[in-house]
Structure 1
Amino acid sequence: MERRKFIEMTTKSGVALGTMPVIFPNSRWKGANDRVNLAVIGIRGMGQSHIQAYQALNNVEVTALCDVDENLFAERVKKHFTDKNLKEPELYNDMRKLFEDKTVDAVSVVTPNHWHSLAGIWAIQAGKHASIEKPSCHTIEEGKMLIEVAKKYRKVVQDGAEQRSNPSAQSAVQFMSNGKLGEVYLAKGICYKWRDSIGSYPDGYMKENERYANTINSNSWIGPFTKEYMSGVNYDMWQGPAPEKPFNRNRFHYNWHWFWDYGNGDMGNQGVHEMDVARWGLGVKIPSKVSAVGGHLMFNDDQETPNTLMAVFEFPNPQGGGQKKKILQFEVRHWMSYPEGNLGNRESLNNSYMTSSANTVGNLFFGSKGYMLKDVEGWQTYMGKEREPGESGKGYGNHYQNFVDAIRADDPSKLTAPIEEGFYSCALIHLANISYRLGRTLDIDTENFRIINDDEANRMFSKEYRSPYTLPKRI
């Protein structure tokens, strides 16, 4: 799809109906204080954080939970509802049935990555507002469709780039936008997280006495995923649009991140947050050139995605000096590393794992007047040749409240992280992975958003979908 046409389609309503049932609610929300009924799709890991966050908001009720793993329901309902004297939610093991529930106003999609866009598209076509965890798309083409569907059905669709709701990130970007750092020519995103080997395991169910953890040196046991346990899992739906494969414990809970059919590696896991901040701070969208190198190093195990990856993106910068371009550099490391200035040494405000001794996660921005260090909790500038400490900022926001506020206002423009912004950051993840997997630099036609003279790379903008878990042919 041509970029001009894509942008045009994201600002106009379409005419074709999708494959999911479509509900046309009132064009305006009833009122700013009316109750919002929410459903959470995917309740094993991050989904629990979503449940708790929404329950903490005024006049918001989590009325339904959905997960393909029915083994989770009893514990989750007890922990998050009955123990709190809250009304028990409706339970679904098939999101398509959930989407038929007209009492649900909005959904949080907290599934594995390969389901994010498809679940969002189906939900929107069924008349729901949607908050979609990062990365909002597993491929570039499905991300484009997600935006088109959101525009056509006039729904509030939030990307999971939660730092955009933080005053610390907002003030950092405003500081640079006001020119206080000078010409910002280089941004760096870093994701140095301790990631041990996931080991190797045969296909098939586990035995009753087997123990398993997501990494080989951990004693945080999960499962065992026995035949009896898996009888309570709709594994066909868990695989969804991905190719059908036999069950393997390493391709299931959490470790799916490290397999291309379901995840995008750590750049698309933790790293997408820092990629979004880097792109936001630079004020750029589509790069003109991408090059990535790396590999899955040190370990002989089942993991497919790289644990060490370095990507460089070039963007046109007509207003800049010199060769008139901006650079975004992103790096993923999985083992011992240095802290990048004070990013890994700064005292954490809430004992965040992002500023621990083992992990360093954040951003650096370099301008003609100085540079900035930023992590999830705050930012600090260092100005001039002598690198004197300059202005700083900090502060958390509430991404969940922002989603609900936009729903009540019936106004997607109220979102701090609209799905369009999430798409452009996700696109950088996909471009880096394509460059890495093909082993070559990608030159990009920024007007039409296609790789120049590289049909193989352009084919990787999309993927095959396994029936019936397919994108609608028309929206």
Structure 2
Amino acid sequence: MVSINRRQFLAAISATAFTSMGTPAHTAMANEELRVVVIGLNGIGRTHLEGFPLIPGVRVVGACDVDSAVLGTRAENFDKKFGYQLKTYDDLRRVYDDPNVDAVVLAVPNHWHGLGTVWGCQAGKDVYTEKPCSHNIWEAGQMEKAAQKYERIVQIGIQRRSFPHLQEFFREIREEGVLGKLKSVKGLYLTRRSSIGKPEVTPKPLPTVNHDLWCGPGSTELERLRYHYDWHWFWDYGNAELGNNGPHILDLCRWVVGAEEFPTSVTSVGGRYAWDDNGQTPNTHILSYDYATAPITFEIRDLPTAEGKQDTCQYRGLSYGIVVEGEDATYLGFDTGKVIDNNGKTIREVTGDKGADGGRQLHRENFVKAVRSRKTSDLNCSVKTGHLSSALCHLGNISHQLGEPVALTSLPERVQDQPLIAEASQRMSEHLAANGVNTKSASVQLGRTLKIDPTKEIFPNDAAANQLLRREYRSPYIVPEQV
């Protein structure tokens, strides 16, 4: 097997650092054991560590994490559960340089998805990358190029693509018109989170963590009190709630309308309210995407129904999921759902096998199937599919970041020509008032309405927006121009 040594990785400062890597001669075939290493062991990584060994012909041979405490605990628990010891790695580059690894699972923070996938492909590994597909739009393109060049199988962890009942029902909506002509699709993520707090002194990295490696392409400056997870709410590493749970919801929205390219425009409205903390991203957000088949909107609320409560909001009985409004009927659901007629009567239940672990086990099995067949067409969520859905999150965040604060009281007038945004904004204002926000004095970030070239995946004649299609990378953790 052709491998990439550690010195080459550490020297990867230029755009051509990995262009000479070839595809390894060995690929796990249908009758061979598939050797997998899970990279990133907190949260979802733990479930991958326990889920992949259950697939016939798959052996998890190793685990990797930059936090030695997490790594030790996960390896010990794995040994107790499965009866053998894992090889442990504290650096993903050592995994990629190991000739005894066929595939990797990237359950790392968002800012590592692009580079981790490209490096994996260059090292000859097949890759299962968690959502979102990438930290920004440009690097998703580099991921796709790497997968094609090195003939690697890359699955993105948007697992509802592997639900047979949704595959069939969404086909019926698109091809048979079971809901009638589509009028609109609403995505919802209405949950309750809490403030992340505000450090009184500069936080220090956990002593068990290789902080430089954790930060990778991003800044090494530490601003959050809780080291793990709260990176989601800082732009250098995460993509807000929109890029956290948004990929699952927006993928359903895009899938149901059959959109296989970018929308023609995006608009956002939102802000961070009620919490006295230093998080950078919105906890209240409304997005709108224009597609020819039907417009898509997405509402995010991380506050409870009212100040002091410990509950979550609902819209038409859903806290998260999609509402697909057709001329003849409406679908409401997430993993499963129901169809109601125009009088509100349930006329069909949409259910099916979700598999274990929230559907991830079905998705893992699909990945393994594609690895065996060497056919990207066997994947339920290829890089391209995952990119188109994750990009909706990035487009909305770009609109938000380029927006301007306006008085919340002026919002109805500012969005009156966008009825779906206006309707959602009214719900948002009422929700904020219930959470103790003074809506007469509060401001809201009115994102720029951005026109998009769906084919080129750029913003025509908008240099500021196009600049946000990619990021500045910290050396040596640079996604190469030439993969």
1:447 has 2:455 as partner: yes
Provide closer, same or farther for how the CA distance between residues 29 and 68 of structure 1 changes in structure 2, counting only shifts above 3 A.
Answer: closer
Instruction: Please tell me the residue identity of whatever aligns with 1:70.
Output: S
* Whole-angstrom distance in 2 between the partners of 1:371 and 1:110: 35
Does the 8 Å CA contact 2:23/2:151 hold for their aligned counterparts? Answer: no
1:237 has 2:201 as partner: no
More helix by share: 2
Does the 8 Å CA contact 2:224/2:231 hold for their aligned counterparts? Answer: no
Does the 8 Å CA contact 1:203/1:249 hold for their aligned counterparts? Answer: no
Does the 8 Å CA contact 1:202/1:248 hold for their aligned counterparts? Answer: no
* 1:473 corresponding residue in structure 2: 481
* Whole-angstrom distance in 2 between the partners of 1:50 and 1:85: 14
* 1:429 corresponding residue in structure 2: 393
* 2:181 corresponding residue in structure 1: 183
* 1:369 corresponding residue in structure 2: 328
* Whole-angstrom distance in 1 between the partners of 2:276 and 2:186: 30
* Whole-angstrom distance in 2 between the partners of 1:450 and 1:85: 48
* 1:348 corresponding residue in structure 2: none
Deviation at 1:307, TM superposition (A): 0.2
* 1:313 corresponding residue in structure 2: 289
Runs of 4+ in structure 1 over 4 Å off: 26-29, 203-206
* 1:133 corresponding residue in structure 2: 130
Q: Deviations over 1:374-404 (max 9, x none)?
A: 112x121112x32332222212041111111
* Whole-angstrom distance in 1 between the partners of 2:246 and 2:203: 32
* 1:335 corresponding residue in structure 2: 303
* 2:62 corresponding residue in structure 1: 64
2:348 to 370, 391, 399: 391
Q: Percent sequence identity over matched residues?
A: 35
Does the 8 Å CA contact 2:114/2:479 hold for their aligned counterparts? Answer: no
1:76 to 65, 74, 77: 74
Deviation at 1:362, TM superposition (A): 0.6
Deviation at 1:172, TM superposition (A): 2.8
Deviation at 1:433, TM superposition (A): 0.5
Q: Deviations over 1:313-350 (max 9, x none)?
A: 00134xxxxxxxx200001001224422233xxxxxxx
Structure 1, unaligned runs of 5 or more = 1-15, 207-224, 318-325, 344-359
Deviation at 1:405, TM superposition (A): 1.1
Instruction: Please tell me the residue identity of whatever aligns with 1:380.
Output: K
Does the 8 Å CA contact 2:75/2:88 hold for their aligned counterparts? Answer: no
* Whole-angstrom distance in 2 between the partners of 1:128 and 1:46: 20
Q: How does 1:403-422 map to 2 (within 5 A)?
A: 403-422=367-386
Q: How does 1:48-447 map to 2 (within 5 A)?
A: 48-81=46-79, 83-177=80-174, 178-204=176-202, 229-230=206-207, 232-245=208-221, 247-250=222-225, 252-284=227-259, 285-317=261-293, 326-337=294-305, 338-343=313-318, 360-376=319-335, 378-383=336-341, 385-395=342-352, 396-397=354-355, 398-439=362-403, 440-447=448-455
SS in 2 for 1:39: strand
* Whole-angstrom distance in 2 between the partners of 1:167 and 1:98: 34
Q: Deviations over 1:96-138 (max 9, x none)?
A: 1110111111111011100011101100110000010000110
* Whole-angstrom distance in 1 between the partners of 2:122 and 2:136: 20
SS in 2 for 1:267: helix
Provide closer, same or farther for how the CA distance between residues 203 and 404 of structure 1 changes in structure 2, counting only shifts above 3 A.
Answer: farther
Larger CA deviation: 54-63 vs 300-309: 54-63
Deviation at 1:249, TM superposition (A): 4.5
Does the 8 Å CA contact 1:168/1:379 hold for their aligned counterparts? Answer: no
* Whole-angstrom distance in 2 between the partners of 1:128 and 1:381: 42
SS in 2 for 1:266: helix
Instruction: Please tell me the residue identity of whatever aligns with 1:259.
Output: F
Instruction: Please tell me the residue identity of whatever aligns with 1:459.
Output: Q
Does the 8 Å CA contact 1:40/1:107 hold for their aligned counterparts? Answer: yes
Structure 2, unaligned runs of 5 or more = 1-14, 306-312, 356-361, 404-447
TM-score, normalised to structure 1, is: 0.82
Provide closer, same or farther for how the CA distance between residues 251 and 117 of structure 1 changes in structure 2, counting only shifts above 3 A.
Answer: farther
Larger CA deviation: 269-278 vs 448-457: 448-457
Does the 8 Å CA contact 1:18/1:473 hold for their aligned counterparts? Answer: no
* Whole-angstrom distance in 1 between the partners of 2:455 and 2:40: 37
Deviation at 1:305, TM superposition (A): 0.4
Provide closer, same or farther for how the CA distance between residues 63 and 139 of structure 1 changes in structure 2, counting only shifts above 3 A.
Answer: same
* Whole-angstrom distance in 1 between the partners of 2:159 and 2:320: 15
Q: How does 1:4-15 map to 2 (within 5 A)?
A: none
Deviation at 1:22, TM superposition (A): 3.0
Deviation at 1:185, TM superposition (A): 3.1
Deviation at 1:171, TM superposition (A): 2.8
* Whole-angstrom distance in 2 between the partners of 1:265 and 1:152: 32
* Whole-angstrom distance in 1 between the partners of 2:98 and 2:70: 21
TM-score, normalised to structure 2, is: 0.81
Deviation at 1:460, TM superposition (A): 0.3
Does the 8 Å CA contact 1:308/1:334 hold for their aligned counterparts? Answer: yes
Provide closer, same or farther for how the CA distance between residues 289 and 307 of structure 1 changes in structure 2, counting only shifts above 3 A.
Answer: same
Larger CA deviation: 388-397 vs 174-183: 388-397
* Whole-angstrom distance in 2 between the partners of 1:29 and 1:17: 28
Provide closer, same or farther for how the CA distance between residues 203 and 138 of structure 1 changes in structure 2, counting only shifts above 3 A.
Answer: farther
Does the 8 Å CA contact 2:114/2:135 hold for their aligned counterparts? Answer: yes
* Whole-angstrom distance in 2 between the partners of 1:34 and 1:369: 51
Larger CA deviation: 446-455 vs 276-285: 446-455
Provide closer, same or farther for how the CA distance between residues 307 and 332 of structure 1 changes in structure 2, counting only shifts above 3 A.
Answer: same
* Whole-angstrom distance in 2 between the partners of 1:203 and 1:137: 32
